[in-house]
Amino acid sequence: MSAPPNERNTRTATKASSKRGDDFRYGIPVPGKKGFVTSPYSPDSGYIDVRGFQPGTPVKDPYSGKIILTP
């Protein structure tokens, strides 16, 4: 069993390219941790740091490798 997401298992998102019309899921905001989300594809993996991105920016989920949007 893996540990739940926390400050010790945090990765930083990187900007991803997308095409108009692509349908992406949003990262799930972490309560009390502004600028951090969990992956909708692997929610128990860890936190994703999206502090440097505007809302709606497509970023690469470092845990699943899929593209998510910043909330």
Q: What's the pTM?
A: 0.80
Q: What is the Cα–Cα distance from 70 to 34, expressed in whole angstroms?
A: 12
pLDDT at residue 33, rounded to an integer: 93
Domain-embedded: residue 2: no
pLDDT in tens, the chain (71 residues): 455 676 677 888 888 876 655 789 999 999 999 999 999 999 999 999 999 999 999 999 999 999 999 99
Long-range contacts of 56-61 (CB under 8 A, 24+ apart): 57/15, 58/15, 58/16, 58/17, 58/18, 58/22, 58/24, 59/13, 59/14, 59/15, 59/16, 59/27, 60/13, 60/14, 60/15, 60/16, 61/13, 61/27
pLDDT at residue 1, rounded to an integer: 42
pLDDT at residue 16, rounded to an integer: 82
* Strand partners of residue 26: 69
pLDDT at residue 3, rounded to an integer: 58
Domain-embedded: residue 53: yes
Domain count within the chain: 1
Domain-embedded: residue 5: no
| Domain membership of residue 29 as a residue range | 10-69
